[in-house]
Amino acid sequence: MAGAASALFLLDIKGRVLVWRDYRGDVTAAQAERFFTKLIEKEGDSQSNDPVAYDNGVTYMFVQHSNIYLMIASRQNCNAASLLFFLHRVVDVFKHYFEELEEESLRDNFVVVYELLDEMMDFGYPQYTEARILSEFIKTDAYRMEVTQRPPMAVTNAVSWRSEGLQFKKNEVFLDVIESVNILVNSNGQIVRSDVVGALKMRTYLSGMPECKLGLNDRVLLEAQGRATKGKAIDLEDIKFHQCVRLARFENDRTISFIPPDGSFDLMTYRLSTQVKPLIWVEAQIERHSRSRVEMLVKARSQFKERSTATNVEIELPVPTDASNPNVRTSLGSAAYAPEKDALVWKIKSFPGNKEYMLRAEFHLPSITAEESTPERKAPIRVKFEIPYFTVSGIQVRYLKIIEKSGYQALPWVRYITMAGEYELRLM
């Protein structure tokens, strides 16, 4: 088991201890003072953002929220990432109880703070960090706390992220498979960087304690089952699951099995680092006429199949900072000058696949310019879009089964969307 925390300190912006909970008896309040001294020493250092520090046998892990430092000190070889994650959960729980975590809210709720810390960590090991579960047996009204005699649900049903007894008239599950395409193209038209970041976002309205099973066209699973992939299987990288997913089951047979939280959550995220063909390609030719006029010819081409259509397309075209009086014509959509961005924004509501559209623009420049003017910054072309019913990776939900002991039938709805993430094309 990873090493445990020795103590948890909550300090104000000047390093004074507001709350201190000692779990193991091997550090003192002097460690908080030593921590803040180290923090001041690191200011201006290139590693000043490092959330972990070590000094004289003590490891310090901290996060800052508003005007509060949350710091854990440990004399053991502890899992720093786990304890930093715990501190972020502490912030979430305090915000759930006090609306906002700051010095004033801590001073007004000392009793509740200590009660929460005692429930969230035992002998230096994290315990319950779900605000909804903690609020079942630690309740506050204004600045008062009432403790019920009922044990927490996490103890009784071992599912801390879901309450028992949920009932819905209509049992439904909505699953959105959303992929963001990140692309950077240099001025020579070469792709410098490309990847796809995907997320399976769920909204569940299910009664009881349902067991869900999700099947994807995962190459490892299909090959293990002896099924022919026919090029439709995908290789997922950097998979991260919500805590509700049974990881051991996935590692054994690649089955995604879980009891879902109620409402919205991210079931899974993944990444694909394969070379991605730009879905919307933009070329721009810029001509300067003397020093008083600039002409721009822009071609935008969709490089996906005709059966798909991009929606809400926005192409942000950089223009000179001193440009004015634009005259713009487009073969589709509308364009408007956005002086606050030094850009011309071309909007196309519906952009079918395998199509090309054009924009012509003319800008006037001041007639008087400095002979030795500073070179213009060459901002990239930025593109935004959404393509429904389409994924770059080819990921497919093969099935989504919902099983509950009462035997009700649930309706699963699956939707696929591809959108632009950091999508930039540099100009010549």
| pLDDT single digits (tens) 256-311 | 999 999 999 999 999 887 788 899 999 998 888 777 788 999 999 999 999 999 99
**Domain spanning 172-275+397-417: which CATH class is it, in words?**
mainly beta
Mean pLDDT for the chain overall = 84
pLDDT digits (tens, 9 = 90+) for 24-37: 888 888 888 888 88
Cβ atoms of 396 and 232 closer than 8 Å: yes
Regarding the domain with residue range 280-388, which homologous superfamily does it belong to in the CATH classification?
Answer: Mu homology domain, subdomain B (2.60.40.1170)
Interatomic CA distance for residues 351 and 220, integer angstroms: 36
Specify the pLDDT at position 14.
81
Position 155 scores a pLDDT of 45
Instruction: Assess whether the region 7-157 and the region 280-388 belong to the same CATH fold.
Output: no
pLDDT of residue 99: 80
For 255, half-sphere exposure in the C-beta direction (CA atoms, 13 angstrom radius) is: 12
- Residues 95-135: pLDDT tens digits? 888 888 888 888 778 788 888 888 888 888 888 788 777 77
The pair of structure tokens assigned to 387 is 């393509």
CA angle, corner 236, sides to 230 and 241, nearest 5? 135
CA atoms within 13 A on the CB side of 383: 30
Domain 7-157 class, CATH top level: alpha beta
Report domain extents, the chain: 7-157, 172-275+397-417, 280-388
Q: Is the whole model's pTM more than 0.85, yes or no?
A: no
Helices 110-120 and 80-98: angle between axes, nearest 10 degrees: 140
